[in-house]
């Protein structure tokens, strides 16, 4: 792999590594989902409600801490700062 990275087609190597990363991420997400389904099966209805809240809280934090590249701060959570006063706005782009 090192020789390929040093002397091979960097585009092909980059694509291969990206695909491998996506496959592993998909496997991880599937395992995580299956884990929580199994956990739900052994919970009482009250515990299932608590589990649901915990998972949503964890997922919300993960999404907040990993915004998509180039996303303005606050956009992921739906919290944007207020716009500047009228006189201080930058000119509109065409």
Give the whole-number percent of the chain exceeding pLDDT 70: 53
Region 59-70: mean pLDDT is 62
Calculate the average pLDDT of the chain.
76
Asked whether residue 76 is domain-assigned, the answer is: no
d(CA 27, CA 20): 11
82 located within any domain: no
Instruction: Please calculate the CA angle 27-24-67 and round it to the nearest 5 degrees.
Output: 95
Return the structure tokens found at 85. 């006063």
Which whole-number Å values give the CA distances from 35 to 16, 26, 39, 42, in the listed order?
29, 14, 6, 11
Q: What is the pTM of this model?
A: 0.47
What pLDDT digit, counting tens, does each position of 9-41 carry? 667 778 888 899 999 999 999 998 899 999 999
What is the domain count for the chain? 1
Mean pLDDT on 62-84: 57
Question: Does the residue 3 lie in any domain?
Answer: yes
State which residues form the domain around 17: 1-52
Judge contact between 51 and 43, C-beta under 8 A.
yes
Q: Is residue 13 part of a domain?
A: yes
């Amino acid at each position: 792999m090192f020789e390929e990275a040093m002397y091979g087609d960097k585009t092909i190597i980059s694509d291969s590594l990206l695909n491998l990363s996506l496959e592993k991420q998909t496997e991880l997400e599937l395992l995580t989902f299956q884990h929580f389904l199994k956990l739900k099966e052994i919970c009482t209805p009250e515990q299932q409600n608590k589990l649901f809240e915990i998972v949503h809280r964890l997922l919300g934090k993960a999404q907040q801490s990993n915004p998509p590249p180039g996303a303005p701060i606050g956009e992921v959570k739906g919290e944007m700062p207020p716009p500047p006063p009228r006189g201080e706005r930058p000119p509109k782009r065409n």
